[in-house]
Every structure is written in structure tokens, then in C-alpha cells.
Amino acid sequence: MITNIFFIVIGILLIGYIYNNVRKHMMSQGESILWMIGACIILILAIFPNIIIFLSKIVGISYPPSLLFFLTSAFLLILLFRNSQQLSVLSEKNKELIQNFGLLDNRVRKLEKTRISEE
């Protein structure tokens, strides 16, 4: 019972923390969706711990905590994959910005040279 209360408190604190970060614009709404889903799952499993036993019987896993470990690992892999995608997109955008900056810098230098030579 104490463990359930502990995880209920953890789930509520996580939901509050994520909400607060979104409200303060420290985390985008898109990023917070997966974290909010994870926090809600923690809260649901803390309130109804028999769900994991029921799900493990349906899947055919004899030791319910191993299903919980698998689900946690899958969740973290999804987050890791999503972050990797975002990093790739940001890296490509950064490369384009650097190239555009180089072109603009070159253009400004040429304009300054022509202006100095005209004076």
C-alpha cells in the first residue's frame, strides 16, 4: 500500500512538473505529449496495480515485472528514436543556416568593397 501511494505521488508530481514546464515554455507541447502519456501510465498502474498482472497473463509473460520492464524499455526507445529524428532535422537546418550565412556574408563583403571603391 505504501508503494502504491509513493508511485501515485510520483505520477502526480510528474504530471505537474511536465505541465509547469509547458506553461513556462521550457518544453514544447509536442515534446510533452509522450512524457505526459508516460506519467499517466505510471499513475494508472499505481492506482490499479493488477493491470500489469492482467496484461502479462494476456501476453503470456509469467513474471509481471518483466512486462513492466519491457514496456519501460520500449517507451524509452520510442523517446530516443524521436529525439534522434529531431536532432537530424535540427542538424540539417543548422547546416542550411550556416550556408545561407556564408552566402550573405560574402555578398555583404562584396557590397562593402564596391562601396569603398566608389568613394
The cell 557590397 sits on which residue?
111
Give the C-alpha separation, 22 to 24, whole Å.
5
Give the C-alpha separation, 26 to 5, whole Å.
29
Exposure string of 96-111, with b = 16+ CB inside 10 Å and e = fewer, is eeeeeeeeeeeeeeee
The pLDDT, as a whole number, for residue 18 is 93
pLDDT digits (tens, 9 = 90+) for 53-108: 999 999 999 999 899 999 999 999 998 999 999 999 999 999 999 999 999 999 99
The pLDDT, as a whole number, for residue 90 is 96
Range name among 9-13, 85-89, 107-111, 113-117 with the lowest pLDDT average? 113-117
Instruction: Answer yes or no: are the C-beta atoms of 46 and 8 closer than 8 Å.
Output: yes
pLDDT digits (tens, 9 = 90+) for 18-38: 999 999 988 888 888 888 998
Q: Has residue 119 got a pLDDT over 80?
A: no
C-alpha cell at 44: 494508472
Give the C-alpha separation, 10 to 13, whole Å.
5
58 Cα distance to chain centroid: 30
Query: pTM for this structure?
Result: 0.71
Q: Between 117 and 83, whose confidence is greater?
A: 83
